[in-house]
Structure 1
Amino acid sequence: MGFAIFDIHYAIQCHAKSSSSLHIFGDPPADVRPRFRYWLPDASVNSDVVAADIKHTADIGAGGVELVPFFEYGGTLNPNPPVDWSTYNFGTAPFVDLFKTALKSHSEHGLVMDFAIGPNQGQGVPAEPDNEGLQWDMTPYTVAVPGSGRFGGKIPGWGSGNLVALVTALVKLNETITFETIGLAGIPVPVTYDRFVLDHKTLTEQTRRVDKHGNVSLRLPRARSGTHYRLFAFYERLAGAKNLAFRSSQHEDIFDDGSYTVDHFDARGAAVVKEFWEDHILTDEVAALLSKVGNYAWEDSLEMHFNVTWSRSLSERFQRLHGYSIKPYLPLLTFRQNTVVMQKDQPGTFECVLDTEDEGLSFVNDFRATLVAGYKEYLTAPSDWAHDLGVKFSAQPVYGSVMDMLSAIPSLDAPECESLSFSDNIDMYRAFSGPARLSGKRIVSNEMGAVRGSAYNYHLPSLLFSVNRAFIGGVNKMVLHGQAYSGAYPNTTWPGHTPFTYMFSDLFSPRLPTWEYGLRQTMDYIARGQAVLQSSVPKADVVIYHKDSATTIENIYQGEDLVKEGWSWNYLSADNLALEESRVRNGILAPDGPAWKAFIVESTQNLTIDAIKALDRFARDGLPVIFSGGTPGYYPTGRDTQKPKFDRDLAHLLRLRNVHTVATGSVARKLRELGLRPRVEAKTNGTCYTTWGEADQYSYAVVYSDLVSSTGSITVDSTEAPFILNPWTGDVSPVLVYTQSRSTTTIPINLAGNQTLFFAFSDKLAKDHLVPCYHVRDAPSHVLGTDVTENNKIALKVAHSERTSHAVLSTGRKVSLDTSCVPGRLQLSTWTLTAEHWEAPEDLYDSQHTVKYNTTHELTSPTSWTEIPALTNTSGVGYYNTTFTWPPKREHNARTARCSPANLDLRAYISFSRVIDTITVYVNDQQVPPLDLTNPVADIGPYLRRGVNTIRVTVPTTLWNYLRTIFNDLVSAGVSASRFGGPPPAGEAGLVGSVTLTPYRTIVV
């Protein structure tokens, strides 16, 4: 009876009428494809070269560039530029001309362009230094009050800015602490600071008692032995911080002074940017071009330096939001309240905490919430401005600063994270994408591929590792870090301008051997993955609560049960629960978006009062709420503790019918007890991450094998026709081996480590594809692949087995598979290697020419170039050649006497055990479709012929093994490559490992 149901179902598929929304999968359009972050050295460069570089991105499969006026990282790497940056500053006439050239080149080649809204990272623009929309800072000072309790005279720090507040407090305990941290240069740095424990009852604002000369006369109670009073003075001032700084001898206009960072916690900061663009860049022609090919106006992460993160409007905003003044509590903001990632070794010279249970954390939390509110106001302003230009706004929000990242994400058109700071962490990607998906953001972007110490030494499989982890975490747009300007630049040696002075990967350009040999296939892979992920609504099984007042990049969920049992998840902050999309319908949270089936709260988290209210509402509306490991903590806010109310509200919540408490690591078990199951359930011997999405005419599943191989199956919550989407070739083909129940489909899978599979489920795809009206329910492991014949039958590609095995069809028929006559695997071991050496010209400052010459080497097996004496320090392209006779001869014995290779129509798969960079395969001069670099296996059956066959393999290397030999002579924009230390060692290159042919015979069932 089950067979009949499956057969009828599949017969309906065979006659489906509608086409699929996957029509762009094979060749995604420009706006779907990945882009390069294009490092524009400055506006002095050759505009024809910029136009050609943009054309090259189209040739290589990118959708355009993200134009970043680099200016040597804002002058940080080189405050003495080799050209006059006053003349070529951001917004000058040469820059506007270059900007138009870039836009026109995108238009000519059918591309789209993202652009930074300022130089360097886009965090400011040239401006008058006294513009109050620029970045503000607050500086704290402190001094002890004599034991008598009397203080008379000038307060500490007077004259360093506008006085915000003077506060006195009794210090009950003080100590000096030293610790070691890792600075930005990557080396240990000692940090020493004073820690004061303050009597919370003695915090007193004394600002009104300070006269206009900074003098104050105070009489405080006499401190008992072991304690003392202190004065704390706080001053605000324009920080004078620049996102483009250089030494200039003239100061005639705003371009002579670089570019100032704007206030990011008030809309006035965005207004400075808008006014600059309107005054200096947005001609009618530029505006028209932007509306045609502009995509995202963009800003990088908040790499800003403060003593205390501040805005001039913060005190007033704080009072309005929280109903009390922040000023008496400013001593609590003196330590680690700046850009904590950029300033690990500059946390502050003293720290103050209160003698209360939470040590004053409630005031710190309110301060950080105020920063978030101001930052959201800032983000809204450039978003509105971008929309007026006909583009959208993207930025990297919050992380590295003392704010809740998840709270700010919904304020952007396209929130962007980065593989560097996120350390390729799937859990953090799921946290980042959660609020984006809840708020309906179609694009979640990623600054992809920056790796410290990998300039010219970045391998494409490493890029794929990062891309695949981002994909499975919910990221669907990659901006590759980055494309180097390929023209000549002053004081720069071969191989050309190198942003970040050889610190970070990678410098994509035609200078790299991989540019012509393999990069296109990788770009197409990313594009097709993005096409699937961008054209559907991503779903996840459950959502997990996470509230940080300052974002940390680390694993959040503490159990392993969810991933082991195939569940997918996202995270939401307490702030996200107030969004209008955060609603439950039919027991599902955000049903038109991520459609989470349950809400999980771990005991390690701290709940806000408002979060408890939201969870109460969710539970009453039918959403299961699961507390894991016990009850969570209290997230303190405000002057008056709400802990008693928190305890009452939480106790009431825990008594609701849809609220459950389980032990740590038992969430998955409770979900099953509630009758829930993952949308994509992976049962394998490895660790697989999954995701699910839905579009108008299809659903998709993505499966990723983490680090090591995984064999087993996936079960999806669908009975529509399954298809496999090959993002390396663009092929869409029916899955032919699977089983179905009344509500699910189970597909066997076998993934290599870091491999990703894309599946589509649609009864409508059959209109465009041959789909047999039956399928295979069970097949042995030596079935290497399947195909559909011209007469709509299923062909199994079956490798050697000593025993006769069987395949079971959905019709119930059992088919015998005899492959005892098929030869076993054979190694291709003898190769001729023609190594094309890429080297610098005799004039090292001739960055436009690469010297190339060939050497030939006979190899008994594929071997790294570092193991071949003549190639140890060589970079370039390897052309490998080998021959073999087909079909292979078998050892003759009684069992094989009946076997006739001619009658078997033998074919073969080729497989490579390892890929260091990328490989392109030719069989008898016919190019094999691109191989999945994470699982480099290809069916070469169509290209084989009887007799002698030739296989050619083209393998590019990085430039590193050669560059390291001249490393101390390399210079970019006048800065030595060895500025930050010597070169890393040489790495493997070329074709390595084993190359195997696996013969098979085709059996039609």
Structure 2
Amino acid sequence: MGPLLLAPFLLTAPLLCSAKFTDHGTFSNPASNVRPRFRYWLPDASVDAEVVAEDVAAVAQVGGGGMEFVPFFDYGGALNSNPPVNWSTYGFGTPPFVELFKTALQAHSKHGLLMDFALGPNQGQGVPASPDNEGLEWELVPFSIEIPKTGQFEGVIPGWGTGDLVSLVIARVKSNRTFSYELPFYTGDPLTISYDEFELDHQSVIERTRQVGSSGHVRLSLPKASSGSHYRMFAFYERLAGYKNLRFPSNRDDTIFDNGSYAVDHFDAKGAQVISQFWSEYILTPELTQLLGQVGKYAWEDSLELEFNITWSRSLPRRFRQLHGYDIQPYLPLLTFQQNTLATQQYTPGAFRCYLDTADQGIGYVNDFRAALVAGYKEYLGTLRNWAQGLGAQLSVQPAYGSIMDALAVVPSVDAPECESLSFVDNIDLYRAFSGPAHLAGKRIVSNEMGAVQGAAYNYHFPALVRSVNRAFLGGVNQMVLHGQAYSGPYPNTTWPGHTSFRYLFSELLSPKLPSWGNGMKGIIDYISRVQYLLQTSVPKVDVVMYHKQSATSLKPIYQGTDLLREGWSWNYLSSDNLFLEQAKVQRSVLAQDGPAWKALIIDSTQNLTLDAVDALDRFSQDGLPVIFSGGPPGYYPSEDGSDLERFKRKLSRLLKSPKIHVVANGGVANKLKTLGLRPLVQVNTNGACYTSWSEADGQSYAVVFSDSAKSTGTITVQSTKTPYLLDPWTGTITPVLVYQRTRTATTIPVALGVNQAMYFAFGNAHGMNIAVPRYHVQQVPSHVLGSTYLPPRGIALHVARSYQASHAVLSTGKKVLLKAASVPPAFPLSHWNLTAEHWEAPEDLYDSQTTVKYNTTHQLDRPISWSEVPQLSNASGVGYYTTKFQWPPSDTAVGCRAHGEALGAYLKFSQVVDTLAVSVNGQAVPQLDITNAAADITEYLRPGENLVSVTVPTTLWNYLKEILDELVTAGQPVQFLGGTPTRSEAGLVGTVSIVPYTHIFV
């Protein structure tokens, strides 16, 4: 079958005019715009530009859409305090970097690819700048001392001279304790965290900043502290944090490049302006500006891995008052603990923690502080977004998570919000939380930094990648940026196999130096590309949405019930902030009708509602949206002093009494949805846990079903009666579904999925697909029917495997067809394999990182086993070339299959795939196999007599590298692993390879 166009599946939502954003290609051959890109780890600008261009060409060769171009600089210097080249000369924005950047853009243009570009070095958080630039990152620094029991104090306040004084606060401490706890540390030994905790009398908290003299002197006279208590003085100073996202030793101070690169203020437009002004002055020549307009896709910034004492911006007090109507300065003592970057500063949470003696312990003030940060962060993102769009690109950022902000509140502020498989731990629930606000706001792209796995460098297997990708797809993500592609050229003080980002801490170092790059990588990329085509050219429709509000994103699974998953319900999450977007409207009893079209909103008792959210829920329910409270009433999300609590309780009580509000016990949501007459878009009835998704485009619909971590058999039922098609992203083919049942409103399709397999269906009009479809279909078949084919003009042929029991197929016409298959030969395994192992090894000179020594050995195997179990291959890596033979037909019993004039055929099945495989039968290539359930109908390749099966299987480099780790360095640094060195991994062809004969029976 030739390439198939899916014109009816094109998305009609407004996009940028540039063809680079609107060209999607076809399902069988997606355009670069929708293909996954590789995060490209550029060591620094000293590298060979020709090699960079070759690396871009290599991306095109394996079907990638381009690069996310990241000037790595050894993670900003954090992994290498003594780089082997002078980063003052080769830093971000220097003339060598600009030339290299131009080369990368030109190479993308030459090969028809698109390029994302980091806003700065390392993770893009900043650019080289003068250290006193007020647009750089600020921090708040706290100090505290005890005031004498007499209540009298005269002297210089603590910390004077640290920075500009923001606030001096006095409070009576009612009780104080010292706490210690241990956290696991990457060195292996736990790290002890100690801090003091102070309970403050809320009535005693008072700001005395104006009493501080110009030299820091203050005189205080306070009432004598009662027994068991004391007064404390808290002084807070703002200063430029001086945090660098690129640092290295330098004795020069001639230009801004000698100081590395500084992180900018992420809570004010000024921070974005520092970045844009740097680009204008040092990078954006007319030629580069033109190239970015042609092939630049996203200006990009990674997750917020900044370092603070307390997260701050100089404009925050002003922004706080505008947002909340009161001043934050008196409440700064509540911000001294765990108010920096939670993900990266867990070992430095703060020296002391304060809380109030009120019901909410002062959490309302903390919530308001974080909300002000969100407002400033949105201003920063909006300014960057406008700048990027002015270059003909868009903005992609990993927003807020890991910081002390609510990521769901920020997601809508980015053109292409990006999450990551590492922090999201491949959790579908977390992905659905991230994608919910994006779907609501109409974001066409939800991106994912995909494939970072701790301890899997050179040891990352493709089935693991596909599992992670499939879980992200089912979570509402539709763009993968693979982590990552290694620079393939030589680099100083670096051994074979070349520059290794993160010093082996994380996967994967993808490049032509891996055996899999030219032996299977393209099949994986094409699979991802075709699924992304489907998901990016359609609008996701989701069954229900859940409320979820946090002041700091925890990245923990949220909904703990299993009732929705069992039946195939899909869901998203929205924060209270999202409920007030212009798209958050109820029409025809659904929320966001033109977007995800959620049919109900669910509030779990574990959640905390804001006062405004109660009003929004009331409004939604009055407009006809079912609102369901699960497990009882939720809690209160406080603001300021929490004085709105009683008002909140009254409003919530009235809401819960409304006849339009539904209250159910834990686990009762699915049943309530049924009683409301609602059904999931894709209903599941299988013996394994399956996730589903649904999307629509121009009259067509897609259904996806994914079997999570186990095999699943059963049925799916979709609320559509349009013609069903099976889409195969592994081969790019589209075929009509021939076995299904249909009612007036729904279609039920049998499914059998392998471990971590996803199946893709389309529902549309036959004339729009240009694919022949029979006038009838099969409604029911027994389990020994392996597949079916429509072969006009003869009709539908069922692939019937051996069975001694009489069985029938039932057609939509009402006809029953007897299926006789007792004479079909039984399935049999293939044995006596010849293996030619192509070894990939380092050269004698380990510092010759460009040379890979290859040689062959041959091995005879009774059955496929891992290289790690073959003594001569236990420490080997490379490519395995396997061959074996079998006789066809396998026995004379096949004659009985011809009683009705039907031919005998066969499937080739693999019980397990370790990496990927390419298969040929009698010299004819079999189309790419789905590595999560590897099987192929090989009937057309068979011939009477002896048949040859050839299988090519790459391995990772790990089993070989493991033996020479002590000799390897990258940029002069040794190999480093967290938690010990991984053991050998499986490699090569393993498990059982079987031939499963069948007979064609036309029905």
Q: Is the 8 A contact 2:169 2:205 kept in 1?
A: yes
Could you tell me which residue of structure 1 aligns to residue 918 of structure 2? 920
Do 1:18 and 1:765's aligned partners in 2 also have CA atoms closer than 8 Å?
A: no
The residue type paired with residue 153 of structure 1 is G
The residue that corresponds to 1:965 in the other structure is: 963
Any conservation in 1 of the 2:457–2:504 contact (CA below 8 Å)? yes
C-alpha deviation, 1:658, in angstroms = 1.7
Match of 2:838 among 823, 836, 839: 836
Say if 1:771 and 1:792, in contact at 8 Å, map to a contact too. Answer: no
Q: CA RMSD in A?
A: 1.5
The Cα shift of 1:764 comes to 4.2
Equivalent in 493, 512, 522 of residue 495 of structure 2: 493
Q: 1:440 aligns with which of 432, 442, 454?
A: 442
Superposed displacement of residue 804, structure 1: 2.3
Gaps of 5+ in 1: 1-15
The change in CA–CA distance for 1:763 and 1:23 in structure 2 (over 3 A counts) is farther
Secondary structure at the aligned position of 1:98 is classed as: helix
- Are the structure 2 counterparts of residues 249 and 902 from structure 1 closer, same or farther at C-alpha, using a change threshold of 3 Å? farther
Confirm or deny: 8 A CA contact 1:782 1:799 kept in the other structure: yes
Conserved in 2, the CA contact under 8 Å of 1:770 and 1:792?
A: no
Indicate which of 403, 418, 433 corresponds to 1:401.
403
TM-score with structure 1 length normalisation? 0.97
Q: Counterparts in 2 of 1:669-748, with a 5 A limit?
A: 669-748=671-750
Aligned to 1:4: none
- Please tell me the residue identity of whatever aligns with 1:938: A
Alpha-carbon contact 1:711-1:749 (below 8 Å) kept: yes
Q: Percent identity?
A: 61
> AA paired with 1:962?
Y
Letter in 2 for 1:866: S
DSSP-derived class of the 2:343 partner:
coil
| Match status 1:31 vs 2:29 | no
Give the superposition deviation at 1:655: 2.2
The alignment status of 1:338 with 2:336, answered yes or no, reads no
Q: Give the CA deviation at 1:905.
A: 2.3
Structure-1 residue corresponding to 2:884:
882
Q: Are the structure 2 counterparts of residues 494 and 812 from structure 1 closer, same or farther at C-alpha, using a change threshold of 3 Å?
A: same
Q: Which of 929, 954, 959 pairs up with 2:927?
A: 929
The answer as to whether partners of 1:133 and 1:263 remain within 8 angstroms in 2 is: yes
- CA positional deviation for 1:981: 7.3
1:188-587 matches, within 5 Å, as 188-587=190-589
Match of 2:943 in 1: 945
Tell me how far apart the structure 2 counterparts of residues 228 and 237 of structure 1 sit (CA, whole Å). Answer: 29
| Alpha carbons 1:514, 1:957 under 8 Å: kept | yes
Distance in 1 (alpha carbons) for counterparts of 2:827 and 2:410: 56
Out of 892, 907, 910, which is 2:908 matched to? 910
Q: Is the 8 A contact 1:79 1:247 kept in 2?
A: yes
Residue of structure 2 in register with 1:954 after alignment: 952
Task: From 951, 964, 985, give the equivalent of 1:987.
Answer: 985
Q: Deviation string for 1:862-916 (max 9, x for gaps)? A: 11111111111000011111011100025x7xxx995669965221111111111
Alpha-carbon distance in 1 for matches of 2:782, 2:897: 22
SS of the residue 2:516 aligns to: helix
Answer whether contact 2:8 2:698 (CA < 8 A) is retained: no
Q: Over residues 418-462 of structure 1, what are the superposed CA-to-partner deviations in whole Å (9 max), with x where a residue is unaligned?
A: 000000010000000000000000000000000011100000001
CA distance in 1, matches of 2:867, 2:84: 38
For the residue of structure 1 that corresponds to 2:618, the secondary structure is helix
Report if the CA contact (8 A) 2:422-2:451 is conserved: yes
Say whether residues 1:116 and 2:114 are aligned partners.
Answer: no
Write the letter of the residue equivalent to 1:958.
Answer: T
Q: CA deviation at 1:370?
A: 0.4
Matches within 5 A, 1:608-619: 608-619=610-621
Equivalent residue of 1:422, what SS?
coil
Judged with a 3 Å threshold, the aligned counterparts in structure 2 of structure 1 residues 577 and 18 are, in CA distance, closer, same or farther, namely closer
Counterpart secondary structure, 2:33: coil
In the alignment, is the contact (CA less than 8 A) between 1:405 and 1:551 conserved in 2? yes
Q: TM-score, normalised by structure 2?
A: 0.97
Partner of 2:19: none
Shift of 1:645: 1.0
Q: In structure 2, what is the Cα distance between the partners aligned to 1:945 and 1:545? A: 60
Q: Aligned-pair distance for 1:412? A: 0.4
Change (3 A) 1:989 1:979: closer
Unaligned 5+ segments in structure 2 are: 11-23
**Corresponding residue SS for 2:928:** coil
Question: What's 1:785 paired with?
Answer: 787
Residue identity in the other structure for 2:638: P
Question: Secondary structure of the equivalent of 1:653?
Answer: helix
Question: Which residue identity is paired with 2:649?
Answer: D
| Equivalent position of 1:3 in the other structure | none
Moved more, 972-981 or 501-510: 972-981
Matches within 5 A, 1:597-676: 597-639=599-641, 641-676=643-678
Q: CA deviation at 1:581?
A: 0.3
Q: Does 1:68 align with 2:66?
A: no
1:774-813 alignment runs, 5 A limit: 774-791=776-793, 793-813=795-815
Contact 1:366 1:638 in 2 (8 A): yes
CA deviations on 1:805-840 (whole Å, 9 max, x unpaired) are 110111111111111110111011210111111000
For 1:293, the aligned partner's letter is V
User: Structure 1, residues 344-383: CA drift from partner, whole Å, max 9, x if none?
Assistant: 1111110001000000000000000000000001000010
- Displacement, 1:656? 2.1
Gap change, CA 1:250 and 1:509, over 3 Å in 2: same
- 3-state secondary structure, aligned to 1:515: coil
Name the SS of the counterpart of 1:686 in structure 2. Answer: coil
Structure 1 distance, partners of 2:979, 2:665, is 50
Q: Is the 8 A contact 1:18 1:764 kept in 2?
A: no
Secondary structure of the structure 2 residue equivalent to 1:31: helix
Aligned twin of 1:10: none
- CA-CA distance at 1:982 after TM superposition: 5.3
Question: Separation in 2 of the partners of 1:779 and 1:279?
Answer: 69
Pairwise CA distance, 1:768: 1.0
Deviations 1:891-947 (A, max 9, x none): x7xxx9956699652211111111111111111111110111110111111111100
By how many angstroms is 1:182 displaced? Answer: 3.0
Offset of residue 638 of structure 1: 1.8
Superposed CA deviations along residues 109-138 of structure 1, whole A, max 9, x for unmatched, are 111111101111000000000000000011
* Distance across 2 between alignment mates of 1:177 and 1:670: 46
Is the 8 Å Cα contact of residues 902 and 1001 (structure 2) preserved in structure 1? no
> Deviation digits for residues 154-173 of structure 1, max 9, x if unmatched?
11111111111111111111
AA at the equivalent of 2:179 = I
Which secondary structure state, in structure 2, belongs to the residue aligned with residue 833 of structure 1? strand
How much has 1:604 moved relative to structure 2? 0.6
Amino acid at match of 2:993: V
> What is the DSSP-based 3-state SS (H/G/I as helix, E as strand, rest coil) of the residue aligned with 1:877?
strand
Separation (CA, whole Å) in 1 of partners of 2:701 and 2:159:
63
Shift of residue 990, structure 1, vs aligned partner: 0.8
CA distance in 2: counterparts of 1:597 and 1:23, whole angstroms: 33
Once the two structures are superposed, residues 30-49 of structure 1 have per-residue CA deviations (whole angstroms, 9 ceiling, x without a partner) of 00000000011111111111
Aligned partners of 1:309 and 1:445: how far apart in 2?
A: 26
Distance 1:766 1:31 in 2: 24
Amino acid at match of 2:846: L
Distance in 2 separating the partners of 1:562 and 1:42: 49
- Give the counterpart letter for 1:432 in structure 2: F
Instruction: Write the distance in 2 (CA, Å) between the matches of 1:688 and 1:716.
Output: 14
Rounded to whole Å, the distance in 2 between the matches of 1:351 and 1:898 is: 82
Please tell me whether the aligned partners of residues 426 and 472 of structure 2 are also in contact (alpha carbons under 8 angstroms).
yes
Alpha-carbon separation, structure 2, partners of 1:387 and 1:600: 37
Judge which range, 412-421 or 634-643, deviates more: 634-643
Seen in structure 2, the aligned counterparts of structure 1 residues 943 and 17 have a Cα distance that, compared at 3 Å, is: closer
Q: Corresponding residue for 1:762? A: 764
Offset, 1:852? 0.4
- In the comparison of the two structures, how many residue pairs are matched? 986
Tell me which amino acid in the other structure corresponds to 2:957: L
Structure-2 residue corresponding to 1:12: none
Please report how far the alpha carbon of residue 962 of structure 1 lies from its aligned counterpart in structure 2 after TM superposition: 0.3
